[in-house]
Amino acid sequence: MNFLLVAIGGGLGAVLRYVLGVWIKNNTRERSIPTAMLIVNLLGAFGLGIFFNYAYGEIPMAAYDKKPYLFFGIGFFGAFTTFSTFSVEAVTLLQKKKWIPLFTYILLSVGGSIIIFAFAFFVL
């Protein structure tokens, strides 16, 4: 049952990431940093912060037996956000020697995700 919860949540999160990423790319102008995955990752961090706040009131360190965490925390938000695509896009900027966009993208992705998660968790 736990595998099924993770699989269903992950499937939904991955599909939503793809649909939202395509929509952002098709409806915004091209920028020096990869904005589609940046927006998706920030939204995922925000959503995960809200989920932890309202579902648990804390950040559960040992929640692998809790069904909501399996579905939303690991499945949905785990598949919705993508550290691997972030890495590919960052290395692409590195290869092209686009230093300012590279560091901007890293700062906004990592720092922004932490800040927006904390805001959603502690403030909302």
Q: Which residues are annotated as a binding site?
A: 78, 81
Q: Where are the beta strands (DSSP E) in 1-124?
A: none
Which residues contribute to the annotated binding site for Na(+)? 78, 81
Give the largest Cα separation in the chain, rounded: 47
Q: Give the number of other Cβ atoms within 10 Å of residue 88's Cβ.
A: 12
